[in-house]
Chains A and B, each alone.
Chain A
Amino acid sequence: MHDGHSEQTLEMSATAADEPRRRFAGSGFGLDRFSGVYLWVLFIVVFGIWTPSEFLTSSTLHSVASTQAVTGIVALAVLIPLAGGLYDLSVGATANLTGMLAITLLNHGWAVAPAIFASVLVGIAVGLVNSVVVVSLRVNSFIATLGMSSILAAVLVIITGDASPVPPTSTAWNNLTQTTVAGFQIVVLYLIAIAVVLWWMLAHTPAGRYLYAIGGNAEAARLSGVRVKRFSTLALVLSSTVAGLGGVLFTSQSGPSLDFGPALLLPAFAAAFLGSTQLLPGKFNVWGTLLAIYVLATGVQGLELVSGAAWLSDMFNGVALIVAVALSVNRGSGRVRRSRPIRGSGVPVSGPSSPEQDAPGQPPPVTSARVTSTT
């Protein structure tokens, strides 16, 4: 979409510095930042023509909206640390643990509210442990949270005895997510509420500004007085909290399952990365992420209606993740300048590598060589 053309414009004016650049990327209705919207429209038109009786129905709309709501929440969870140049790969396992914990507690006779509260609290605790490992012990966030997700999977087996518990009978529990509002399950509203709060935080508060600064160049942020450790901690705790909430909502909506968490991880990352190429290109952003979630879901839904193949959604998400990262990396690498990863800044090794303008979408160690080369 944005090929060598825009790249070149950028590079030239970067040196000449005589004319504001980014006519392409920054303003107007360039294919670039709104490509997701166009793709979405394309999906709707194509499948609408192909199989109008099945695709163009309000039930399709409602089902796509609600089945993707929890995925959306988990995507927003990974978005927060990504903005700060950190990975949280433990969100899936966290969600799985808190969701199943809530059910286990309910089955032990807890009331709905305390069960949810305790479960989300566990999510917060996971975030605190993550941040101790990443921020204080300076373990690369990719590694730390990968390890954590394995630990959480083990804890899950301990709690459940590796047997799926019976679904709770409480109607309050089911209504938590399945009450319908204008045809949509209420969980969609939760997603929107969380999105609004995070959008406010990331785009309109100093905390958000600082997080992006850390993601862009942690050392420069630190020297500007940004409390890098504090905000890295905040990001990791928030992501686990949101993921924990997402897990509870998932089991309320879909019932107990021992392995839904890991399955949420990839679509969440795919959406966050794809989202970083949308609306505000080069920046992990809330609305871009939600757009990506629903564009992908619409495509998958349409293809499934047409072909009925069961492998479509995995294939789609995998391709989307790679394409998204390729897009964001290549935007950044058009220019040669790339600064070194920053050391000793509290944010680990891989974290804040390339403060190139469009590049934060290509966060740290996706080019994984860096993980090892800089330690």
Chain B
Amino acid sequence: MPQEHQHHPALEVVGLSKSFTRTRALADVSLSVAPGEVHALLGQNGSGKSTLIKVISGYHQPDPGGRVRVGARDLPFGAPVQSYRLGCRIVQQDLGLVGNLSVLDNMALSSGFPTILKTISPKRSVAQARRDLERLGLEIDPRAPVSSLTASQRTGVAVARALREDWSYPPRLLILDEPTAALPVTEVDTLLQMVTHMAATGVGVLYVTHHLGEVFRVANSLSVLRDGRLVGSGRVAGFDHDTIVHLLVGEELEAEEPATRVDRLAGVAHRSERPILQVEDLTGGALAGVSLEVSPGEIVGIAGLTGSGRDELLGRLFGSVPRAGGSVLVGGHALPQHRPDLAIAKGVAYLAPDRKTSGGVMNMTARENLTMPNLRPFWKGLRLRRKLERSRAAEWFERLGVRPAGSFDEPLSIFSGGNQQKILFGKWLSQQPAVFLLDEPTQGVDVGAKADLHHELRAAAMAGAAVVLSSSDLEELAELCDRVLVLLDGRIAAELSGGELTEASITRRFMPAAALPA
């Protein structure tokens, strides 16, 4: 459709930098996406991909000097509506659909319904939605509720919504942020076809992904970001799998063999042989049969991309998320489902991934959060002894260096992310767990607090806890763990330990062998 702009790039980024107060998220990045082209944007977590997208979509103001042009027109920064008017369309990873509304209603949420005399015209709305869907090769009834669609159809609806007709501001550039992250493997093909279809209409596509296999299948060109810098770009034909991985993780990391790991290998010898945690053929959700054993004193990492089942494993293991099958034994006794209280009584601690929704009770005090899993020691003479609680809380505040110091009678919500996480760590450490399950323990935590938490984690393992650490932070996994299990499509695809255990080797195992270029 954008005939008159056919010759200009759909997107042109020149010398873009973006600094936040202390860090530089983007440094002198340039890239260009032609109309009708699919351009893959690759990079590890924290490499600057999302910052770049946010600048293009107008949410971030970049450092002076950089320039973004969409269809040959300069993008004024810091105003999302301008970005839209120039033709940028973004489909976020979570799609932003409302499940119990129809496809039609979802598509009209942002653009409004076609109306006659201010009354919704159902006929015209349906016809227009159908047109928008068909342009992407999608045969979906606009009246169906979104919740009845498959995952790839939902992505399709989100894309169709982004690309729907808007004569005043025709779409020129579509940004897809990890569109396959939440898709089952079986539906990835459908989505890739759709992307190709879309590009054929003349829209430039910026395709963000972690999956290298997809890059070779849909993308014409690619750019790789690492630590905010563009470390490689060009036609896809000029790259192979290994070069890209190399670009993604960088030279120095691959060679690295942290001394700590050597120390730990030495420590393995005097570790108890009998595993305390035994998981057999665990299924449910994305998990398609996971078995693992963890011994006291061991730190086992779980890695995997979104959709691999990594983010579900610990919840199902703990029993707070229902399992479909399989068994979980702690010290030889089965861990029942739906009963976190029994799991806790058996010595299992589970640090939930999201502090605010499932980790802490934000409106209760730090002290109350700390003592919640077990109030028995403080229940004396028919009263909860606050004095005892306070001295316990004070101990943990001191030990973990929580700031502001001594303010354990303040609500959890007033603490910074890192300090909240320390308090929740203290909550579980004070239970002296035999099995410590941690889901994204340092997400959104500053560097200092992170180091403190890592220290505590090692100390807990040293004291004999079996630690299972599920994290999307590969550096953390490589640094802390005795071995790392890499999940792929709900199964353990690889077990890495010793010298094999590096960020690069974990990244390499994320991709199914079949997706490698033939």
Chain A residues engaging chain B, CB cutoff 8 angstroms: 10, 13-22, 200, 204-206, 209, 212-213, 216-217, 219-227, 282, 335, 337, 339-340, 342, 354-360, 375
List, in ascending order, chain B residues with CB within 8 A of A227's CB.
341
Q: Are A223 and B413 in contact (CB under 8 A)?
A: no
Known: A205-B384, A223-B318. 13 other contacts (CB 8 A): A14-B413, A213-B361, A217-B358, A221-B372, A223-B350, A223-B359, A224-B372, A224-B427, A225-B343, A225-B373, A226-B341, A356-B362, A356-B363
- Nearest first, the 5 A-B pairs at minimum CB distance are A357-B411, A216-B361, A355-B362, A225-B341, A17-B416
Please tell me if B410 contacts chain A, counting CB pairs below 8 Å.
yes
Which of B352, B364, B407, B415: most chain A CB closer than 10 A? B364
Within 8 A of A (CB), among B411-439: 411-416, 419, 427
Q: How far is the CA of A345 from the CA of B363 in the complex (A)?
A: 18
A213 to B320, CA, bound (A): 17
Q: Which residue of A lies closest to B405 (CB)?
A: A20
Instruction: Please list the residues of chain B having a beta carbon within 8 angstroms of any beta carbon in chain A.
Output: 100, 318, 320, 340-341, 343-345, 350, 352, 356-364, 368, 372-375, 379, 382-384, 403-404, 407, 410-416, 419, 427
A sample of 13 cross-chain residue pairs with beta-carbon separation below 8 angstroms, ordered by A number, consists of: A14-B415, A20-B410, A22-B410, A205-B382, A206-B375, A212-B361, A217-B358, A219-B358, A220-B352, A221-B372, A224-B340, A342-B357, A342-B358
- When distances are taken between beta carbons in the complex, the residues of chain B under 8 Å from A18 are 403-404
A20 to B356, CA, bound (A): 20
With a cutoff of 8 Å between Cβ atoms, the chain B residues found around residue A19 in the complex are 404
**Contact A217-B384, Cβ < 8 Å, known A18-B404, A21-B410, A223-B320:** no
Nearest Cβ in chain A — how far from B211, in angstroms? 28
List residues of chain B with CB within 8 A of the CB of A375. Answer: 100
Q: B413 near A225 (CB under 8 angstroms)? A: no
- Whole-angstrom distance from the CB of A372 to the nearest CB of chain B? 9
Which chain A residues border B411 with CB–CB below 8 Å?
357-358
Q: How far is the CA of A124 from the CA of B514 in the complex (A)?
A: 63
Cβ distance B342 to chain A, nearest Cβ, rounded Å = 8
> Please, how many angstroms separate the alpha-carbon atoms of A79 and B39 in the complex?
58
Inter-chain CB contacts under 8 Å: number:
125
State whether A226 and B372 are in contact (beta carbons under 8 Å apart), knowing that A21-B414, A209-B384 are contacts in the complex.
yes
Partner of B368, one of A205, A213, A355: A213
Measured between alpha carbons, how far is A227 from B403 in the docked complex, in Å?
31
State A216–B361 Cα separation when bound (angstroms): 6
The chain B residue sitting closest to A357, CB to CB, is B411
Provide the bound-state CA to CA distance between A357 and B343, in Å: 28
In contact, A359 and B363 (Cβ under 8 angstroms):
yes
Using Cβ atoms and an 8 Å threshold, which residues of chain B touch A14? 413-415
Residue on A nearest B364 in the bound complex, by CB = A216
Contact of A17 with B414 at beta-carbon distance under 8 Å, contacts A204-B384, A222-B320 already known: yes
**Contact residues in B for A356 (Cβ distance below 8 Å):** 362-363, 413
Choice from B356, B373, B383, B419 contacting A224 with Cβ under 8 Å: B373
Whole-angstrom distance from the CB of B381 to the nearest CB of chain A? 10
Chain A residue nearest to B417 (CB atoms) is: A17
Do the beta carbons of A225 and B340 come within 8 Å of each other? Answer: yes
Cβ A17 vs Cβ B415 within 8 A: yes
Contact B383 A204 (CB under 8 A): yes
Give Cα distance in the complex from A217 to B350, angstroms.
16
Q: Could you say which of A206, A216, A340 contacts B363, with CB atoms under 8 Å apart?
A: A216
Complex: chain A residue closest to B385, CB-CB: A204
Q: Give the residue name and chain of the A residue nearest to B352 (CB).
A: A223
B residues less than 8 Å from A223 (CB atoms)? 318, 320, 340, 350, 352, 358-359
CA–CA, A147 and B359, complex, Å: 34
With A226-B372, A282-B363, A355-B363 as contacts: A15 and B416 at CB distance below 8 Å? yes
CB distance from B324 to the nearest CB of A (A): 16
A19 to B364, CA, bound (A): 18
Q: How far is the CA of A209 from the CA of B384 in the complex (A)?
A: 9
Instruction: Determine the distance from Cα of A339 to Cα of B361 in the docked complex, in whole angstroms.
Output: 11
Residues of B within 8 A of A358 (CB): 363, 411
Task: Please pick, from B343, B352, B372, B407, the residue contacting A20 in the complex, using a CB distance under 8 A.
Answer: B407
Query: Provided the pairs A213-B361, A227-B341 are in contact, do residues A17 and B403 lie with their beta carbons within 8 angstroms?
Result: yes
A316 CA / B289 CA spacing, docked (Å): 62
| A355 lies within 8 A of B383 (CB) | no
Q: When chains A and B are docked, how far (Å) is the Cα of A209 from the Cα of B100?
A: 36
B340 touches A220 (CB 8 A): no
